[in-house]
Structure 1
Amino acid sequence: MNRVSIQAILAEIGVDMSVFPDEHHLSSWTGMCPGNEESAGKRLRSAVRHGNRWLRRDLSEAAWGASQTQTSYFAAQYRRLAPRRGKKRALITVAHSLLIVIYHVLKEHKDYQDLGRDYFDCHSAERLQRYLVHRLEALGHEVSLRPRKLDQEN
């Protein structure tokens, strides 16, 4: 995020986070909260809610910048969601994540620690392994996995 985006975001939400009980209230006030439309157990698509349009614009711009970096968690989140949900929906999701991070940084007075681009791979390694095996089998390969033996020094 550049200095102008940070100044614009702070001008809109302020630095006192006690007015928002939690990050969900801030997201709702901003209009960046995910939709909650459901029918027959199926989640439906819904438009972005009305809220502070200037803050939403600044967050979207910051999310675009964050999604274009190579080594950040937000770039990994964008690249993970964009093919499946579309570029604009992925951008709104990244902007929502940025808003939650901003809320916690301002409320807890802590520095931001980036989770890194390989967070999703490490977080759910078994699920990724199952997905890749299934994908290779769908392409006509027979796959059997065995753990790699580490060289032991005597």
Structure 2
Amino acid sequence: SRFPTEQHFSSWMGLAPSTRISGGKPLPGHVPKVFNRAAQALKQAASSARTDKSFIGASHRARLARMDTACAIKATAHQLARLIYAMLTKGQPYVAQDMDEYEAKSRDRQLRALQRKATKLGVRLVAA
């Protein structure tokens, strides 16, 4: 009850993304440093998720493909913080997503992206 939303909880932990952005670039200035032991533990858990064969590990590896390591670790720790907040406030156990479902969704997303690119280039794709 101390934190009204998961955004407040993530901000208190120092895991929320910066909002000082203009035109897609971070604004200059001092970013307040937050030292939270729970956040440090979540960052360690996130960095070890790289080799994990779970949904969180797969999403962390996908983040590593598109951003640098420090940002990916912080984003995965933020994801873990949101999961923890949801479990504590709703009183429900964590239900792990199936890796087959995640890979199927990822494959479908990649196929849709290829279709969009092909139509943009004027090429027609045929399924084999």
Within 5 A, what are the aligned runs for 1:1-154?
18-39=1-22, 41-44=23-26, 50-70=33-53, 72-117=54-99, 118-119=101-102, 121-122=104-105, 125=108, 127-132=109-114, 134=117, 144-146=125-127
After superposing on structure 2, the runs of 4+ consecutive aligned residues of structure 1 that deviate more than 3 Å are 45-49, 130-135
Structure index of larger Rg: 1
Once superposed, what is the RMSD of the aligned Cα atoms?
3.0
5+ unaligned residues in a row in structure 1: which ranges?
Answer: 1-17, 136-141, 149-154
What is the rounded CA distance, in whole Å, between the counterparts of 1:119 and 1:45 in structure 2?
A: 35
Aligned partner of 2:126: which letter? L
What is the CA-CA distance between 1:35 and the residue it aligns to?
1.0
What is the rounded CA distance, in whole Å, between the counterparts of 1:32 and 1:48 in structure 2?
A: 13
Aligned residues: 122
Higher relative contact order (CA 8 A, sep 6+): 2
Aligned partner of 1:56: which letter? A
What is the CA-CA distance between 1:129 and the residue it aligns to?
0.7
Question: TM-score scaled to structure 1, two decimals?
Answer: 0.65
Contact preservation (8 Å) 2:52, 2:58: no
Question: TM-score scaled to structure 2, two decimals?
Answer: 0.77
What is the CA-CA distance between 1:77 and the residue it aligns to?
1.2
5+ unaligned residues in a row in structure 2: which ranges?
Answer: none
